[in-house]
Chain A
């Protein structure tokens, strides 16, 4: 108990320091760090509102971060004039929405079958799902390009179904390979494991079929898992770059991130590039700021595996 008498003055760690100077120092460090992380995006947004010569003139002072001088949305209208930005946005919204909705559906169904039902091959499928968790997309992206170029698709021409080969340059090549996701299955699976089986047993006693239990008992209880999977599917789908760069040639089918390359070929108009970057970042940022808690806990939950 001698330690009690010689207890140190400022109990650091979780408790707040008592000396005001120290407290101010702590806030200064946090504010400086916050500025370090925030200044590039602030700079991007502010620059998107200025003509190019003014962006460069303002760089040497704090005006670079302030919307002062000739502020207008001219860069934004320039973006829509020079690049089919509207088309890119619609494509990305479509691809992302379909991937998220179908992904939620089939991955949760597979997780339900793995968590609740007994069927041949269940253990095998579960081990396959877990085995795929660590393999990054980049390891098989190039063989996948070759492979999707060989895949068939049925086209109905004049009422007659015909086979066509090659998925390159389509919407489906940007959607279908990314619907099933081992990590989404794993997240749903671990969430379903935490739902007591008494609930679905009671439903079965009442004569409910398996699909009914999935739809009316389990899924309504799986809100947090649905939010997590939706966010973790939404982000890579919206931000997807490498894959569409390789498999999509037509302007009509390109998503937003590939649109960035258009500005690298034109005469470099930085104001417009900043406007386009702001435009394609705002949807994600808006979602993030509104659902911040869900976003952060989703990202954190991707850390529980391992």
Chain B
């Protein structure tokens, strides 16, 4: 018996080790499969375990904690609180304001940033001497931390700061500027401008990789047909970018909905809560006030927003296929 097994084993390890041959079930092959199953499990375990511990558990906890009175540090045990947090949420004027501010930011940033990204990509993609030199400065803000960028722009937005000084000299003292970050009307637009400045290079690069997949022959054919610059964009470039388009819209939208660091550093949610966002409020409630349960409820709303965006993405990509 053992001889037979050894014989099949040698056969297997010499010629028959290709995956196709594993279909025939002899004891040694079953052993090899078992070894493969064990080794596969062992190699995947560290990642799977960590993903469960630090992704799935907190995501599920977020749902559960929203129905409790949990606090970060509390002498009394956590108890079930039903829909208390939700009724508080719906009556919380600050929550509605945060939601409105977040949507305002997203509604302005998403179209503006994706259009500018496309424009920059078209500029960089045009074959000219030295175009690669221009790609670097466009991209440098992307690798710079949003924290550094926020503090730098906060300095530039000071009433006597660089932005107002530049406006003054460019307009020969006609425009005097304002205290950008301390004005409820101008604080959010100031953050929007800076956020686009920082992130547009990222989406330019993704657009650029999309542009480079378009065959130059299509442009040559369009030239032969006497297509105008706009026609070439409309009928060659735009359809060619279809694959990256949805992805770009979704990533910009999700990033816009997650607005936090800029607000935390530049305005701290003010003036008059004009820049408080959903994530900023969740952090303030959950971390500074230690109300984990209510913060989880706010995070849940944020989760639903993101979920809705990805459903839209699913729908759009399905339509394409």
Contact = CB atoms under 8 A, between A and B. Distances in A.
Contacts of B219: 13-14
Interface stretch (B44-52, B83-91, B107-115, B180-188): B44-52
Contact of B120 (A33, A35, A40): A33
B216 A140 contact: no
Interface in A166-199: 176-180, 182, 185, 197
Chain A interface SS verdict (over half): helix
Contacts of B141: 37, 40-41
B156 A141 contact: no
A8 B232 CA distance: 13
A179 B205 contact: no
The 10 closest A-B pairs by CB, nearest first: A119-B40, A303-B206, A180-B50, A306-B247, A117-B40, A110-B47, A177-B54, A142-B286, A143-B62, A144-B58
Interface string B247-284: 11011001100101100110000000000000100110
Interface stretch (A75-83, A126-134, A220-228): A126-134
Given A59-B165, A140-B55, A147 B246 contact: no
Given A38-B137, A176-B54, A284-B144, A13 B72 contact: no
B50 A106 contact: yes
Contacts of A27: 128
Contacts of B44: 109-110, 113-114, 119, 122, 125
A60 B169 contact: yes
B27 interface: no
Interface in A135-182: 135-136, 138-147, 149, 176-180, 182
B134 A30 contact: yes
B46 A182 contact: no
Contacts of A149: 72-73
A140 B302 CA distance: 10
B47 A180 contact: yes
Chain B interface SS verdict (over half): helix
A284 B145 contact: yes
22 contacts: A11-B223, A13-B232, A14-B126, A14-B216, A59-B161, A113-B41, A119-B38, A129-B51, A134-B310, A134-B313, A139-B302, A140-B59, A176-B54, A180-B51, A210-B40, A238-B145, A245-B287, A273-B151, A281-B144, A285-B140, A299-B205, A303-B206
Interface string B34-72: 011111110110111111011111110110010000101
Contacts of B174: none
Contacts of A245: 264, 287
B43 A139 contact: no
A201 interface: yes
A21 interface: no
A30 B135 CA distance: 10
B229 interface: yes
B148 interface: yes
Contacts of B295: 142
Interface residues of A, number: 111
A300 B209 contact: yes
Contacts of B247: 303, 305-306
A16 interface: yes
A18 interface: no
Contacts, number: 314
Nearest to A38: B137
Contacts of B161: 59
B92 interface: no
Interface string A58-88: 0111001000000000000000000000000
B37 to A, nearest CB: 4
A14 B240 CA distance: 15
Given A138-B258, A306-B313, A210 B39 contact: yes
A216 interface: no
Nearest to B224: A3
B287 A145 contact: yes
A123 interface: no
B46 A180 contact: yes
A266 interface: no
A217 to B, nearest CB: 14
B216 to A, nearest CB: 6
A47 B151 CA distance: 13
Contact of A274 (B51, B62, B155, B165): B155
A273 B158 CA distance: 14
